[in-house]
Amino acid sequence: MQELDFSISVLGEPTIQISAISEKRDVWRTSYVDDDQYILYDIAVTIGKSEAGFARNNLIEKAGPREKIYFDPAKVHAGVVTCGGLCPGLNDVIRAIVMTLWYRYGVKQISGFRYGYRGFLSRFNIPVMELTPDVVTKIHRLGGTILGASRGYGDCVEEIVDSLERMNINTLFIIGGDGTQKGALGISEEAKKRGLKISVIGIPKTIDNDLSFVQKSFGFQTAVSRAVEAVDCAHVEAHDAINGIGIVKVMGRESGFIAAHTAMAINDVNYVLIPEVRFDLDGENGLLANLERRLEQRNHAVILIAEGAGQEYMEDSRASDVSGNIQLNDIGIYLKERISEYFKKKGIEINLKYIDPSYMIRSAPANPNDSTYCARLGAHAVHAAMAGKTGMIISLIHSQFVHIPIRLTISGRKRIDPHKELWRDVTEATGQPLLLQERRKKPRSPDKKRRGLSPDKQRRGLSPDKKRPCPSGRRGGQEGDEVNKS
């Protein structure tokens, strides 16, 4: 097992008994969490081979309220910031942080920094927003973020910590994705270098669901539910036309989780294209030929594509945004043009509709599942900060809320493994070939031919004892592979 360090940094020993400062009696006898309570990271067991067990590098600190806290609530000045792109649930997290600080811990000084990390920098002169229960009480019904958001400037850690020090901020909640959390780690380290007791807590936000050591990021479920609506529209358009083709592009720069889960949720998708699985356009087993066979047999097709898929087919722009993300070419438009060109040359009439719901999804309010998740993320973030934790995020592992060091979260992207269960389930739901790539295998030598199969059965992919195609017969994308149940 890979050596992992799940240890969480603390500012000091928590000494303040929460029951001594609470204005309300704990009539429900709240179940506090101790620092010696953990969740197993690797829960898979192979008899005779599993050795991880209770090794320290397999234990993740459990999240939740501590009986003793580090900060005196009367002396806390909390800061909240939302960075990066929009995502369903941002306002829900802000609301949960404010409500938990105010009502559970009695923290009355809460400042919202506007437009991401720019809000800390004097050069932009952006006023701070005071956050109270009255300000946030209804914001969870709105899309976007009341604080505004922007990309970049997470590397200006010295200026940011200057602002925190000047305003006497001692707990900072940073809501954002991979690039944002890199900035959060830098802020935490700079504060430590200066001897400042500032708790920096990250709440992971990535609509692509691609942060490492995060089972599920908030906004993802809403994104899938909205993408399902777009696919449903594309399917109706395609189904009710002559040789109808619907293309839907969803978010997913490096990871295709939205596309994969959407395809399984609606079961009307025939081809799912994601960044993790390369595909061919041309050739007998390429997407275009498969699509032609699909139309011959079913008269319609739906293609769902993640924005980062197929980038190798387009010229690399080499440009990047202020967060350092490479600016992607529009694979949806490219695919639409290639498909139209292909069938035009063949003299085949098609009716093609292209839908890109990306910004409609990003700006949507969170659905009930995400709202619930956001409320719990925000509350757990406050519990961690008041206990003096720092340099960490609140995460979900095995459906348990836990503390994860930021350094682990930003160590790599979470991606779909084409050889594991999720992608297998996707291809079974769509009926598409396991890979759309051209087969490039060398011909088998006579002595390596499969035993018990006649040459005819080998060509048709039949097993010796059955008269139907065996699973391995689908790998080449032969005729019939692309036919979906829908």
Catalytic residue numbers read 208
Contacts of 45 (CB under 8 A, 6+ apart): none
Report the C-alpha gap between 173 and 180 in whole angstroms. 11
Report the C-alpha gap between 246 and 231 in whole angstroms. 8
Q: First-to-last CA distance in the chain?
A: 42
Q: Are 365 and 378 in contact (CB under 8 A)?
A: no
Residue type, 213: F
Q: Are 59 and 43 in contact (CB under 8 A)?
A: no
Joined tokens for residue 473: 């017969």
Contacts of 383 (CB under 8 A, 6+ apart): 63, 64, 65, 66, 100
**Nearest by Cα to 361 from 182, 217, 452, 229:** 229
Q: Are 403 and 5 in contact (CB under 8 A)?
A: no
Q: Are 42 and 58 in contact (CB under 8 A)?
A: yes
Contacts of 172 (CB under 8 A, 6+ apart): 78, 79, 80, 81, 164, 187, 198, 199, 200, 201
Report the C-alpha gap between 245 and 264 in whole angstroms. 19
Query: Residue 74's CB: how many other CB atoms inside 10 A?
Result: 11
